[in-house]
Chain A
Amino acid sequence: MTTKINKRDLIALGLAGAAAAAFPASALAQAAKAGAKPQEDIVFGASVPLSGVFAFAGIGIDAGIKDYLTILNEGGGVKGRKVKYIAEDTAYKVDQSMAVFKRITSQNKVNLYYADSTGFVKAVNPEVDRMGSILMTGASFAREISNADKYPLQFMVGPDYSEMVGILLQYIAKTKPGAKVALVYSDTEFGRDPVEAARNGMKSLGLVLATEIVTAPGSVDVSAEIVKLRRADPDFTIFHGYVSAPIPEFITQAKSLGLKSQFMGTFWTMDNSTVMKMGPAADGFLGVMPYRYYYDTEGKSPMLEKIRKMRPEYQSTGYMQGFLAAMLLTEAARRALEAGNELNGKNLKIALSSIRNFDTGGIIGVPLSIKGNSIPIGRIYKADFKQQKMVPASDWIDLTRR
């Protein structure tokens, strides 16, 4: 006997196949939920940019988080509970970051989360508040996020952009009181973030705002801006809102015109490889760094030594940021569990805020205390082109101790 497949059977088969293919993840998740044992691991989710324009930092951040969690889990985890890291690439796009967040949180009971951008942090904040189960940090240092009333379940692993510029201004005021300072920033949310605070900071520190120059992000031709900068003749020029371009172009042209201005940058510009790629003109480039560099050997830095042992090659500042983010998030979890509290956003934030004089194992050169959503500590580093290294140019500056 032969069985013939008619057109209707074919359609039915096709439909069944399509339905099965359409929702494999949700079906699997539900099946897993039904059959799995109670979740013991603490889940650390992350929307990380492993591709796209921010991949240069995202890859380091991902590695930093992974390495810290490896060290932590090998040492017994958090109160005996392992920390499971689930991360996905976002290509630095808000909609994809959100999709990653939704996917990870709908398939796991997530308590700790790393977010990849200011846009995503803003978009996800209402959801984080609504869920109430997550403590979040991330790559954004936007000033808005340091508002703990607006972002109660978030924090940032370092000073916000305004505080970074504040640290630079403190250094300037100490080095050359009454100095003329120029601000060069990109016409983006990132670039404009610290501008108002910088203007106010200069006033209160007795510094003079020589000029403000706004450029397109990543612009190449800066000849008109250089003329403006030359006219203002500042003692210090602070760049913000860029990773690299147009800083090298600015510095090269300014030096060829004989400008004596000292050039400075903020965190995302300050990776060793980024500064060294600017070329010999970048020798002496100053900037604010909340963490020690991979190769720093001064003082006691057991964590840096562990990192160097795990990874003999240079690790970026993004790596350090991810490493410290994982350290602080899991420290909050440890404190919450030690206090006998359930792991939820509120308890985790309370636990995080209880951190006083915390030793980061040398990632930050001074013990840190967390009072709000930011950690306003940083240090000025200077580019030494001969050594191909960033070397300390100041002591650690803690803005809370002003």
Chain B
Amino acid sequence: MRIGSAKQSYGADAALFDSRTQKAWALLGVAALAAFPFIASEYWLYLACLVSINIASAMGLNILTGYTGLVSLGQAAFMGLGGYTAAILQLRYGTPLLLNLFCGGVVATVAGVLVGLPSLRVKGLYLAIATIAAGVMAHFLFAHLPALTGGPAGLSVPPARIFGVELDTSAKLYWVIVPITALLLLGAANLFRTRIGRAFIAIRDRDISAEVLGIPLLRYKLLSFAISSFYAGVAGGLFAYFFRAITPESFPLLMSIFFLAAVIVGGMGTVLGSVLGAVFMTLVPELLKLIVSALPLGGNATLVLSPVRTIVFGALIIVFLIFEPLGLAEMWRRTRRAFHLWPFRT
């Protein structure tokens, strides 16, 4: 609890930003994001776009796994469905980018609802296996419908156009990807201020109690799957426009595990956790690479240190999980609390 921010109404209690300082920080964040393309190189813009796409997908998975307690390893498959839908619409009909992304989200949503059907019967690892099966089926469809998906060779996606501008660089795509991700995050943050979001949390905490409280489990579990898959579908569409080439191998099971790891490392059941987790999982390997290349070692040091870097990355994840099982979001909150209460200790 923050000192000096007493709430006098339910509205104030549920507000996204509960103080002027927070609003000021949020504005500063938006300004920084808007200024970023003007100061950053193509490399950093590429990473910013990649991180944004990963944040969008991790947020989707966090809604399902972190907030509703339904473990899924099908996130990559839903991204694939969104990606293929956007790519096919762009290639065949040349429809607008935003419509393609939306349709990608809708197709993934439909698939998500279907995959979510067993969730009323099975939970935990069993549900995770069911979602893996969905991933296998999606992979099969991508590889074996060559007339639609290009088969194993996949599809090359032409660049999208907005107002006559061809979105063919990270610098241009940044203006689409980052705002869409921001909107998705805002949507998720607002979702948990509503009855639906609270129902998800109730299901996660104890589904039988939730049902006793009058929450229809099937409807809300499927809704959670639907929203989560929509996020994945949109992220998949962004992925297709970003990489401009998708194949069945673009969306492997390992990608689903990546997002699950991002949610766990970042913090389950928090919007900030999705952001921090995706940033951590995407950028830490890059930062380790930068550190290794900056070391004055010369010779074959890069060669020797490449596998070491992977080990360090793995070790970092383990260290975080041991010392902060609630994720990076909790570390962030603790740091903020330390500032708020300073010079007192928490």
Contacts and interface: CB of A to CB of B under 8 A. Distances in A.
Interface string B182-194: 0000000000000
26 contacts: A25-B41, A30-B41, A50-B302, A51-B310, A52-B310, A59-B303, A87-B302, A88-B302, A89-B302, A89-B309, A95-B50, A99-B46, A103-B43, A106-B42, A106-B43, A107-B43, A119-B245, A119-B247, A123-B245, A125-B156, A126-B168, A126-B244, A188-B249, A189-B154, A192-B143, A192-B152
Chain A binding surface SS class: helix
A23 B159 contact: no
A71 interface: no
Interface of B: 39-44, 46-47, 50, 143, 151-154, 156, 159, 168-170, 243-245, 247-250, 285-286, 289-290, 293, 302-303, 306-307, 309-310, 339, 342
Given A26-B44, A59-B303, A107-B43, A91 B247 contact: no
Interface residues of A, number: 45
Contacts of A126: 156, 159, 168, 244
A89 B306 contact: yes
A187 B43 contact: no
A383 to B, nearest CB: 29
Contacts of A95: 50, 243
Interface string A138-162: 0000101000001000000000000
B339 A99 contact: no
A174 B265 CA distance: 60
B246 to A, nearest CB: 9
A122 B247 contact: yes
Contact of A122 (B245, B285, B309, B342): B245
A98 B289 CA distance: 14
Contacts of A189: 152-154, 247-249
Interface string A99-115: 10011011100000000
A130 interface: yes
A188 B250 contact: no
A29 B41 contact: yes
* 7 nearest A-B pairs in the assembled complex, by CB-CB distance: A122-B245, A50-B306, A189-B152, A89-B306, A51-B306, A102-B43, A102-B46
A7 interface: yes
Contacts of A107: 41, 43
B250 A102 contact: no
B339 A25 contact: no
Contact of A26 (B43, B50, B303): B43
B302 A98 contact: no
Interface string A28-67: 0110000000000000000000111001000100100000
B43 A99 contact: yes
Given A91-B306, A103-B43, A125-B245, 4 more contacts: A50-B303, A119-B247, A122-B247, A189-B152
Contact of A192 (B42, B43, B151, B339): B151
